[in-house]
Amino acid sequence: MAAAEVTAVRLEGVGHLVAQEAPEALSAALLAFVDRVDHG
């Protein structure tokens, strides 16, 4: 399978444990993505 659109987000200063190191930035990125998907 292939995706028609790919979204990448760079969170500066974050290593492998994104949810622990930058939970606010991660949740903001996820909410922005879901908002784009829901509202096309």
The residue that leads in pLDDT, 38 or 31, is 31
Contacts of 9 (CB under 8 A, 6+ apart): 29
For the cut 90, the answer to whether the pLDDT of residue 5 exceeds it is no
User: Are residues 35 and 29 in contact, defined by beta-carbon separation less than 8 angstroms?
Assistant: no
pLDDT digits (tens, 9 = 90+) for 9-31: 999 999 899 999 999 999 999 99
The size of the chain, in residues, is 40
pLDDT at 19: 95
pLDDT at 17: 95
pLDDT at 10: 92
Q: Residue 4's Cα: distance from chain center in Å?
A: 17
DSSP sequence for 1-40: ---S-------TT--S-HHHH-HHHHHHHHHHHHHHHHH-
pLDDT band at 36 (very low <50, low <70, confident <90, very high): confident
